[in-house]
Structure 1
Amino acid sequence: MRDERPITLSWNGRRPLSPEERRAHTPASEDARGAGPEPARYAAHGPDGEVGRYLFGDNLAGLRSLRAAASGSVTLAYLDPPFHTNRVHTLVEAGDRAAPKSERRRRAAFDDRWTDRAAYLESLGARLTEVRGLLAPHGSVVVHVDPKTSHYVKVLCDEIFGEECFASEIVWRYRRWPSKTPNFQRVHDVLLRYRRDARARPRWNTPYEPLAASTRATWGEGKQRAVFRDDGHRQRSSTTEEASLGVPMGDVWEIGVLAPMSRERTGYPSQKPLALLDRLVLALSDPGEVVLDPYAGSGTTLVSAARLGRRFVGLDESTLSLETVSQRLATIGAPLALEAVDAIPAAPSLVACEAPGPRRKRTA
């Protein structure tokens, strides 16, 4: 007999899920076995045609308000949470980057200090639970973590989204300057993808990798076709006149980190390259659909979504994030509705608000 007992993470003080909460983790809809509903889109536009929203303040409070107003409206959620580094991440003021280290002025970007790993997982788990409620049945969530935390987060996501909703573990491999350490160099991050409903057809646009040089030299750029004899045995291969799209992409991605002098670099710590987010947004959403980033940070997810014709919602409580996101979106001409978390409208509209006031102290 198969063991149906759930596997969960446990730590002192953690409250187990109630039966009602566990029932809430069942698939999103009984009729989701087909193609799924039409893409969830925000129908309302702000007065200036905003393509997205930025909610300034505590992201847990913001997610809860969004869930109450727009449950099931998100096609792709990307989370790049703190990695449990136990330090404050800062940015050097632009005018001081050439100064000696001791004379550089720094601004805090985000605080990644925790009392213990349980506190970190509890914080992340609360936000993942709210994200789950915002996803459409055909939606996906991607959680970006490092190898030191990925195994904990994987079990946490299995519990929140369901083991049957696990879709893939993507390894982002990059090159970096080697460091002197008695260990193998760490050159990858981990991206965990989960589906909202295992029975629904997910939003999926197959990404392709270019054909290998040896394949192009032998077969050219056309699609390969296998030719079989009447007895069913393969006789030979040939190519068609139709151009090949390439090879369906695997789960190991080689994308470079941002170079120190890259035009894309903002100076915001932990900034991810647009090439990485573009790949996710293109594969897991369609134009007009909503992309969510609860840890907006430098705004790469929001910039990618705007450039690719998606609508977006970003959340962060860092003043530096607010400034960076606003500047990046203004540079590409993407209108943005700024809202304070306490001023989230009751309906999922995109009415522009005044710029939020000073950062509030986190209470949860």
Structure 2
Amino acid sequence: MPSKAIKPHYRTKNAELYFGDLIEVMNSLPEESVDMIFADPPYNLSNGGTSVHSGKRVSVDKGSWDKSEGAQEDFDFHFSWIQACRRVLKKDGTIWISGTYHSIFACGYALQLQDFRILNDIAWYKPNAAPNLGCRMFTASHETIIWASKSKKSKHTFNYKEMREGDFPSDFIKRPGKQMRSIWSITTPTKAEKIFGKHPTQKPTTLLDRIILASTKPGDVVLDPFAGSATTGVSALRLGRTFIGIDLSLDYLNNLAIPRLESVGMTSKMK
């Protein structure tokens, strides 16, 4: 049974943002009410490591929400939130999960244990990825994105023609008029996408545009349980979909997500 309804932190005629625990919020939503989910869960990298930004060594610690609690505890978390996603996903819906090798294998295993059907694993290649400082391993220059349907019986949406014939000039891998492959060349977010501030794991709108165009129809409901700066919402609204976002940070919701959604110019705030 669904939990007691939780009031949105922010609501418009085509978008809702919720503040709170993602599992509690999703358990309060109607069963099988969402057409597509994009999830960018914690990568569990905030354990004292460093990376490169603007040519300088910087900490990769993003906050307590990104710290690893150990392999089993991390997996249990991924299993739980994916289970909550499964309840709200329509029978013909799909889920996309983004991650690095620190988290994506646990998510993939959790999907399989819950009888999802893995459709593709997308290699999102980042041409402008940061260099490796240690020089003792290959430079990480991609993330893996798993695309899965709710079951083997699902009749999932795949807009084949749009992906084959669409215009993707910035992706040197995509050849005009040819089938889109499972390797996508897309740069990290531009400065223009960060005018309201920076989120440590912000995704480029170009990436979410492609995901939403590939697997949803106009008017579909798109859910992001780790909304962050609401890139998913920006793309969803711009493409004529409805958006539901959830995040545990009021700071990100108020200072990034809401201003970005309102900047799209397609929202009408409701009382």
Shared fold, TM over 0.5: yes
**TM value normalised by structure 2:** 0.80
The answer to whether the 8 A contact 2:132-2:138 is kept is no
How far the C-alpha of 1:336 sits from its partner, in A, is: 6.6
Mapped pair 1:279 → 2:210: yes
Equivalent positions of 1:1-364 (< 5 A) are 50-66=13-29, 70-87=30-47, 111-162=65-116, 165-175=117-127, 176-180=129-133, 181-206=135-160, 207-208=163-164, 246-259=177-190, 262-265=191-194, 266-323=197-254, 324-335=256-267, 352=271
How far the C-alpha of 1:208 sits from its partner, in A, is: 2.2
1 CA distance for matches of 2:221 and 2:64? Answer: 25
Secondary structure of the corresponding residue to residue 191 of structure 1: strand
The answer to whether the 8 A contact 2:204-2:231 is kept is yes
How far the C-alpha of 1:209 sits from its partner, in A, is: 6.4
Please report the RMSD computed on the Cα atoms of aligned residues, expressed in angstroms.
2.9
1 CA distance for matches of 2:131 and 2:165? Answer: 28
Which deviations, in whole Å up to 9, do the C-alpha atoms of 1:152-171 show, x marking residues without a partner? Answer: 22112110234xx1111110
Secondary structure of the corresponding residue to residue 192 of structure 2: coil
2 CA distance for matches of 1:270 and 1:150? Answer: 15
2 CA distance for matches of 1:299 and 1:49? Answer: 14
The structure-2 alpha-carbon separation of the partners of 1:185 and 1:62, relative to structure 1 and needing over 3 Å to count, comes to same
How many residues align? The count is 240
The structure-2 alpha-carbon separation of the partners of 1:109 and 1:264, relative to structure 1 and needing over 3 Å to count, comes to farther
Which deviations, in whole Å up to 9, do the C-alpha atoms of 1:249-299 show, x marking residues without a partner? Answer: 11100001124xx11123111100000000000111001010000000111
How far the C-alpha of 1:320 sits from its partner, in A, is: 1.8
- Residue of structure 2 equivalent to 1:359: none
The structure-2 alpha-carbon separation of the partners of 1:149 and 1:200, relative to structure 1 and needing over 3 Å to count, comes to closer
2 CA distance for matches of 1:178 and 1:49? Answer: 41
Secondary structure of the corresponding residue to residue 314 of structure 1: strand
Q: Which moved more, 1:124-133 or 1:148-157?
A: 148-157
Between Structure 1 and Structure 2, whose CA radius of gyration is higher? Answer: 1
The structure-2 alpha-carbon separation of the partners of 1:179 and 1:272, relative to structure 1 and needing over 3 Å to count, comes to same
2 CA distance for matches of 1:248 and 1:322? Answer: 37
Identity of counterpart residues, as a percentage?
27
Secondary structure of the corresponding residue to residue 263 of structure 1: helix
The answer to whether the 8 A contact 1:87-1:111 is kept is no
What amino acid does structure 1 have at the position aligned with 2:193?
E
Unmatched tracts of structure 1, length 5 or more: 1-47, 89-100, 102-107, 212-243, 338-350, 353-364
The structure-2 alpha-carbon separation of the partners of 1:115 and 1:178, relative to structure 1 and needing over 3 Å to count, comes to closer
1 CA distance for matches of 2:98 and 2:77? Answer: 15
Unmatched tracts of structure 2, length 5 or more: 1-10, 49-56, 168-174
- Residue of structure 1 equivalent to 2:172: none
How far the C-alpha of 1:109 sits from its partner, in A, is: 6.3
What amino acid does structure 2 have at the position aligned with 1:76?
M
What amino acid does structure 1 have at the position aligned with 2:234?
V
The answer to whether the 8 A contact 2:12-2:267 is kept is yes
